[in-house]
Amino acid sequence: MHLVCPAGSPPALKAAIDNGADAVYVGFRDQTNARAFPGLNFTEVDLVNGIAYAHGRGRKVYVALNTYPGPAGLGAWRAAVDRAASLGVDAIICADMGVLDYAARRHPGLARHLSVQGSATTHAALRYYRERFGIARAVLPRVLSIQQVERLCEREIVPLEVFAFGSLCIMVEGRCQLSSYVTGASPNRHGVCSPAKFVRWDEEPDGVRRVSLNGRLIDRFAPHEPAGYPTVCKGRYAVGGETFHALEEPTSLNTLELLPRLQAAGVVALKIEGRQRGQAYVASVTNVWRQAIDRLRTRPQGWSPDAAWQRELARHAEGHQTTLGPYHRSWH
Amino acid sequence: MRLTLGPLQYFWPREQVLAFYRAAAAWPVDVIYLGETVCSKRRELRTRDWIALAEELAGSGREIVLSTLALLEAESEMSSLARLVDAGFRVEANDMSAVQLLRERGLPFIGGPTLNVYNHATLRLLREDGLQRLVLGIEHGRALVEEFRASGEPLPELEITAWGRLPLAYSARCFTARALDLAKDDCGFRCLEHPDGLPLASREGTPFLTINGIQVQTSGRCDLGPELAELRAAGIGLLRLYPQAAGMAEVIERFRRTIDSGVAPARAGEENGYWHGTAGMQCVTSP
């Protein structure tokens, strides 16, 4: 099983490689990828150097081109495909069919991975992308239970990558409009979710902090209550007379305890979320997963996650708590 | 310009569903979309019942379309999908699993709003697959439609959601069950108690979203009635109106009058932001 780690910057790429990532995934500095945040991502020169660093150590670099261009923008996405190909990346991660088709025709030798944003959750959908665009791998949306992942693997339609750790999108990826509903900026089109320029924090006289997104209240926090980033799905709302995290709590996905099952199922790659996170996060999380995968390989009998690994991962989790998320039925 | 009755997004008792569609057969709509698009656990009408209803309504003079689930996870859902696809009606494909089954069978289809069709290259591929009509994604506004037209690519029939609470997101999790502190697998079908969904408000009481099982919708209703002239100019051929528990006949009547008279009605819904290229929750009033 390959460990695929996020790199939002050259230092994060180096941290991922140094701590044992088999591959890193990166984005260009524009809206062609789903983490189009200011100050994040790679210039061409950054990427040339990053690829040299990774390839020099036998690792791979994937470029995410996983947003959906409109008709007028398609040329820029195609140019990004050409750029990725000319720089010698190992794969591109795409969601849009127009982009996938272009890449398959123009650069047939460049591996194409279906992004999680492509929303392929069944063997039929995976067949579509394999037959139409010859994808070499698909990243599964975070909606399937472990049993459903196992069954999809049994079909052997394309090699599958799943999310292992990181911030948890609780809606099926590529089809969530919560951010665009509130801000007009969407993950699909603009590569951002609940962007910071719409976030406003206000402190009331009693020390209570209110956080709103484009004027819509997402949550209020008591003076010493920890406060998370106001993505729409992790706010507290009133439903049926009660106020609670009606969609999801601030929490991160952590599938470490499922590692042997994911391996037995035949999952080819584990994805760590977090291109928006710093190099300390990347280094630490990559390191834990590298150790876990290596120990499973060398001593599979009686494998169980170290308490120290879990503590380390929880330290980097949203709200310092983790969940098995959709892999486990009780989350549904 | 034609009027379509979009698929029922809520979970109603069987008799209410049947009564609704028997009434609908006499309403001035041109197309009726039938089927469960949200949650496969909703079985007041099973797949075979939806197909039977389609057969019953086929004599009404309306075009009858079977709509597929937006999010498929289980093998059993794939079997239901295959039955819908093979039922002999035109199908609205709401995910790529449906597109693949239709393509494998060489059947023409309608692309639903949860397919991601953001550009003409994607549209061309889907037209090769058999797409004849595209229901625009909910965040697709006037500017994007204009870009489609400017691309020079032949366009299929275009349908836009002109009325109702917009479907914003789908999850493996059931938010209705969560709100009621129930496990999804033991949900007691409590969506039946919320025929227009379960309202979600901000902590200060501002209406915000609507919980509908595994789906999250807008709180306000999208209303593009006042935008009729712009929709026509943009080449939109069909207006989709989403079913609601009460007053649907009046909603349809209002849009029918709008189309027939060409006179834009006063605004009745709360939102139109997506059409105008801004946040979907906003309401842009024409200058």
Residues A21 and A158 in one domain: yes
What is the domain extent for residue A288? Answer: 2-168+251-331
Q: Are residues A104 and A125 in the same domain?
A: yes
Categorise residue A236: left if φ over 0, alpha if ψ from -120 to 50, beta otherwise. beta
* Assigned domain for B286 exists: no
For residue A39, what pLDDT is reported? 85
Q: What is the pLDDT of residue B278?
A: 97
Residue A73 to chain B, least CA–CA distance (Å): 9
Crossing angle of the two packed helices A74-87 and A44-56, in degrees rounded to 10: 40
Would you say residue B132 has pLDDT above 70?
yes
Q: How many domains does chain A have?
A: 2
pTM, two decimals, is 0.97
Decide if the complex's ipTM is over 0.95: yes
Residue of B nearest to A189 (CA): B118
Q: Out of A212, A244, A276, pick the residue that ends a domain.
A: A244
**Are residues A183 and A164 located together in one domain of the fold?**
no
Instruction: Give the minimum alpha-carbon distance from B18 to chain A in angstroms, rounded to a whole number.
Output: 29
Top pLDDT among A222 and A329 is at A222
Could you tell me if A68 and A117 lie in one domain? yes
**Does the pLDDT value for residue B287 go beyond 60?**
no
Residue A126 pLDDT > 80: yes
Predicted local distance difference test score (pLDDT) of residue A34: 83
For the stretch A312-330, pLDDT in tens is 999 999 888 899 999 998 8
Label residue B112 by pLDDT band (50, 70, 90).
very high
Q: Is residue B185 part of a domain?
A: no
pLDDT confidence of residue A36: 83
Q: A281 in a domain, yes or no?
A: yes
Contacts of A135 in chain B (CB under 8 A): none
* Range in A117-131, A313-327, B2-16, B235-249 with the lowest mean pLDDT: A313-327
- Residue A7 main-chain phi, psi, to 5 deg: -140, 110
- Assess whether pLDDT exceeds 80 at residue B286: no
Q: What pLDDT is attached to residue B80?
A: 97
**Contact in structure between B68 and B40 (CB atoms under 8 Å):** no
Q: Which residue has the higher pLDDT, B117 or A226?
A: B117
In a domain, B31, yes or no: yes
State the pLDDT at residue B239: 98
**Same structural domain for residues A211 and A87?**
no
Q: For residue B125, is it within any domain?
A: yes
CB atoms within 10 A of CB A168: 24
What's the CATH number where A119 sits?
3.20.20.380
Choosing from A244, A269, A296, the residue where a domain stops is A244
What is the nearest CA distance from B249 to chain A, expressed in angstroms?
28
pLDDT more than 90, % of chain A: 94
Counted domains in chain B: 1
- The confidence score (pLDDT) of residue A83 equals 97
**pLDDT of A38:** 84
> What are the b/e assignments for A91-109, b being 16+ CB within 10 Å?
bbbbbbbbbbbbbbeebee
Q: For residues A58-72, give the mean pLDDT.
A: 97
Whether B281 is in a domain gets the answer: no
Q: Same structural domain for residues A51 and A86?
A: yes
Q: Are residues A201 and A184 in the same domain?
A: yes
Residues A154 and A274 occupy one common structural domain: yes
Long-range CB contacts (within 8 A, 24+) of A103-112: A103/A133, A104/A133, A104/A134, A106/A78, A106/A81, A106/A82, A107/A81, A107/A82, A108/A134, A110/A81, A110/A84, A110/A85, A111/A136, A111/A137, A112/A136
The CATH number of the domain holding residue B154 is 3.20.20.70
Q: What is the pLDDT of residues B229-241, one digit of tens each?
A: 999 999 999 999 9
Of A119, A132, A181, the CB nearest to B281: A181
Enumerate residues 95 to 134 of chain A having a beta carbon within 8 A of any beta carbon in chain B: 95-99, 101-102, 118-125, 127-129, 132
pLDDT for B32-82, tens place per residue? 999 999 999 999 999 999 999 999 999 999 999 999 999 999 999 999 999
Whether residue A150 is found in the same domain as residue A187 = no
Max CA separation in chain B (angstroms): 52
Boundary (domain end) residue, out of A244, A261, A276: A244
Chain A, nearest residue to B218 by Cα: A181
The terminus-to-terminus CA distance of chain B in angstroms comes to 24
CA dist., res. B188 & res. B146, Å (int)? 46
Q: Is residue A301 part of a domain?
A: yes
B98 CB neighbours in chain A (<8 A) are: 124
Average pLDDT, chain B: 97
CB spacing of B199 vs A72 below 8 angstroms: no
Q: Are residues A177 and B173, on separate chains, in Cβ contact within 8 Å? A: no
